[in-house]
Amino acid sequence: MEILVCVARVPDSAENEIEVNRDGTDIDRDSLVYSVNEWDNYAVEEAIQIVERDGGSVTVVSVGDDESEEILRREMAMGADRGILLSDDAFEATDGRGIATILKAEVEKGKYDLILTGAQADAGAGEVGGMLAAMLDIPYASLVNSIEVVNGQTLKVGREIEGGNSEMNKITLPCVLSIQTGINEPRYVGIRGIRKVASVDIPVHGAADLGITGDAVAPHVHRQDYFVPELGDGAEMLEGSDEEIIEKLIELLKAKGGLK
């Protein structure tokens, strides 16, 4: 099975202190560290596991700048066979629909049986997978937490639904699936693994290579403002050392009947 996994480079919320910048147009990007979007990492692991069981190959693709190459290499160190970077000045300010448009152009250049995206990205809106499927006019399942290959034409996929329940679906190939975390346990990628793929060639496709114009990816959604919500009534910030905060929290939980 030929699988394409769409991955994004995002600031990792676990290793950064995310703050809104002074004019509210973006987060403060000084001294941020980036990694592959967590959901996408699960998608790549799933693709690798499918290929390990049933054969085929895994291609990872990312829309981004030169620095996104680093996450493509990480996913290749994990076991993806190829990486493709989609990069062009025209792509810089694009929105979700624009990213789906760029990805669609790349998908059409190859012959993929299955396209995976993360269910959402740390910085995103969880919109690309669905739009990409619609643009390609192929089936789509979201929030997928299990995949079983039935045969060359069909997959059985589990989806996470309300209340932690699962629903099982049959879906025909080719299709797009957006992958939920927890579908597997992604393998570790060590420093040595990354160094080993450091010199593998990663082709870069620009707007011209993909046959799309700047207009096609011009944003229709414009970000207006970022802000930290005002403290409302009923919200209380606990202050002090960790110990003190924990003690206060326990007291509060006890007082409100949350802890017996």
Partner 1 sequence: MNSTLISPANSSYLGIPGTVLFVLIPAVGALVFTYIMAKRFAPLLQMQHDPRLNQLPNRFSRLLKFGIFQWRQPRYMFAGVLHILLFSGFMVLALRSTALIFVGVVDGFHGDFGVVYGILKDIAATLVFIVAFIAMVRRGIFKPKRYEVPSKYGKDHTGEAVLVLLLIIGLVTCDMMFEASQAAAQIQNGFEPQQMLPTTGPWVFTLLFAGVTPSVLQTIHLSSYLLHELIFFSFLCLLPFGKHFHVITSLPNVFLGKNRKGIIKPVLWGVTDEELDALDSIGVKKFEDFTWKHILDFYSCVDCGRCADNCPANAVGRPLSPRFISIKCRDYGFKRYPLFGEKGPEDELLIGTALEEDEIWSCTTCGACEEECPVMIEYIDKIVDVRRGMVDEGMVPQSLQKPLSALEKRGNPWGKMEKKRADWTKEEEFSADYPIKIIDGEETAETLYFVDSITSYDDRMQDLGRATARILTDAAIDFGILGVQERDSGHEVGRFGEESLAQMLREHNTEVIKESGVKRIVTADPHAFNALKNDYKDLPPVEHISQTILKCVKDGKLSFKPVEDSTKVYTYHDPCYLGRHNETYDDPRQVLDAIPGLQTAEMERCRDRSFCCGGGGLMLFFEPEEEQRMGVLRVEMAQQAGANVIVTACPFCLLNIEDAIKVAGLEDQLEVIDLVELVDRQILRD
Interface size with partner 1, residues (CB under 8 A): 24
What x-and-dash track marks residues 227-246 binding partner 1 by CB under 8 A?
--------------xxx---
By the rule CB under 8 A, 14 interacts with partner 1? yes
CB of 12 to partner 1, least distance (A): 7
CB of 226 to partner 1, least distance (A): 20
Q: Which is nearer to partner 1, 6 or 189 (CB)?
A: 189
Whether 124 and 8 have beta carbons less than 8 Å apart is answered as yes
Distant-in-sequence, close-in-space partners of 41: CB < 8 Å, separation ≥ 6: 7, 75, 78, 118, 186
What x-and-dash track marks residues 177-206 binding partner 1 by CB under 8 A?
--------xxxxxxxxx-xx----------
CB of 99 to partner 1, least distance (A): 25
What x-and-dash track marks residues 30-69 binding partner 1 by CB under 8 A?
-x-x-x----------------------------------
Number of H helices, E strands in the chain: 7, 11
Q: Which is nearer to partner 1, 71 or 133 (CB)?
A: 71
What x-and-dash track marks residues 79-118 binding partner 1 by CB under 8 A?
x---------------------------------------
Q: Which is nearer to partner 1, 36 or 210 (CB)?
A: 36
Tell me which residues in 113-142 interact with partner 1 (CB under 8 A): none
Q: Tokens representing 195? A: 């160094």
User: What is the C-alpha separation between 146 and 76, in angstroms, rounded?
Assistant: 22
Give alpha helix (H) positions in 151-221: 191-196, 207-210
- 3-class SS of residue 45: helix
Binding residue (CB under 8 A) for partner 1 from 6, 16, 100, 107: 16
User: What is the C-alpha separation between 120 and 37, in angstroms, rounded?
Assistant: 8
User: What is the C-alpha separation between 117 and 46, in angstroms, rounded?
Assistant: 11
At 15, which helix (H) or strand (E)? none
Q: What Rg, from alpha-carbon coordinates, does the chain have? A: 21
Handedness of CA 37, 39, 40, 41 (dihedral sign): positive
Q: Which is nearer to partner 1, 141 or 197 (CB)?
A: 197
- Given the rule CB under 8 A, which of 10-18, 58-66, 99-107, 222-230 is the region that contacts partner 1? 10-18
Binding residue (CB under 8 A) for partner 1 from 43, 71, 78, 155: 78
Taking residue 98's Cβ as centre, other Cβ atoms within 10 Å add up to: 24
Distant-in-sequence, close-in-space partners of 25: CB < 8 Å, separation ≥ 6: 223, 225, 226
Which among 49, 43, 68, 48 has a CA at the least distance from the CA of 58? 48
Q: Which is nearer to partner 1, 82 or 187 (CB)?
A: 187
List residues near partner 1 by CB under 8 A.
12, 14-17, 31, 33, 35, 78-79, 185-193, 195-196, 241-243
